[in-house]
Amino acid sequence: MADKYSILLPTYNERENLPIIIWLIVKYMDQSKFNYEIIVIDDGSPDGTLDVAKQLQDIYGDDKILLRPREAKLGLGTAYIHGIKHATGNFIIIMDADLSHHPKFIPEFIKLQKDNDYDIVSGTRYMGNGGVFGWDFKRKLVSRGANLLSQILLRPNCSDLTGSFRLYKKEQLENLIAKCVSKGYVFQMEMLIRARELNYSIGEVPITFVDRVYGQSKLGGTEIIQFAKNLLYLFATT
């Protein structure tokens, strides 16, 4: 069976970004002749994101763009669970819809996975020529600090724990999700910790992360406190 890649795009108020990110995904996936589908999981965006997604579906076809909306904002972890239920690919790619993750890296993820038969390939901002654009010093410091602390406490065997640009074998992702307890931003981190527990192999591709161009960032003070609490929880239980 030829490999197929299901790309999950959770959205909330991404009306401006969605046409660009989908155009880029289609461009890079078609160039490389990969078999793929894009699953848009919109959480009841009040800005009309779903209407834009419907127009994009008309352009690219409903075999390429699948719309699997939900009524309300239910968190990132549950969005992935919802998306996987509808995925027909044997590989799942998760990424942000706000242009912070560039689809040009996807063929690199796929190549690395194929060459080494990795269970997971994760994008890293902290290795090689990876990096972050558009963050002020304070935000970079918080991110670096959170990552360093996570490394020390959790020893995850990978350099970027909190990133959310990844390629998974579908079956392994389902196993990981079944084990995960967190639902918000910490969900990404817990996935890799659980992967270590299950001895899944992890490859890393250096990526450049670009802070969102349109719309509001979803990371605030409460998320940082939540992150610290969850980090300690994972430390205590893994």
Contacts 24+ apart (CB under 8 A), 178-183: 180/77, 182/77, 182/230, 182/233, 183/75, 183/76, 183/77, 183/78
In 3D, which of 82, 83, 100, 30 has the Cα closest to residue 60? 30
> What pLDDT, in 10s, does the model give residues 44-53?
999 999 999 9
Residue 183 region by backbone torsions, left for phi larger than 0, else alpha for psi between -120 and 50, else beta: alpha
Q: Which residue has the tokens 């299901």?
A: 6
> What pLDDT, in 10s, does the model give residues 45-91?
999 999 999 999 999 999 999 999 998 877 777 888 899 999 999 99
Domains of the chain by residue range: 4-237
- In degrees and rounded to multiples of 5, residue 45 shows phi and psi of -60, 130
> What pLDDT, in 10s, does the model give residues 170-192?
999 999 988 887 766 678 888 88
pLDDT in tens, the chain (238 residues): 789 999 999 999 999 999 999 999 999 999 999 999 999 999 999 999 999 999 999 999 999 999 999 988 777 778 888 999 999 999 999 999 999 999 999 999 999 999 999 999 999 988 888 887 777 777 777 777 777 777 777 676 788 887 889 999 999 999 998 888 776 667 888 888 899 889 999 999 999 888 765 555 555 566 566 667 766 776 777 6
DSSP 8-state class, residue 105: G
Q: How many residues does the chain have?
A: 238
* Topology, domain 4-237: Spore Coat Polysaccharide Biosynthesis Protein SpsA; Chain A (3.90.550)
The H or E element spanning position 10 is: strand 4-11
What pLDDT, on the 0 to 100 scale, is given for residue 91?
98
Measure the CA–CA gap between 193 and 5, rounded to whole angstroms: 24
The pTM for the full model equals 0.85
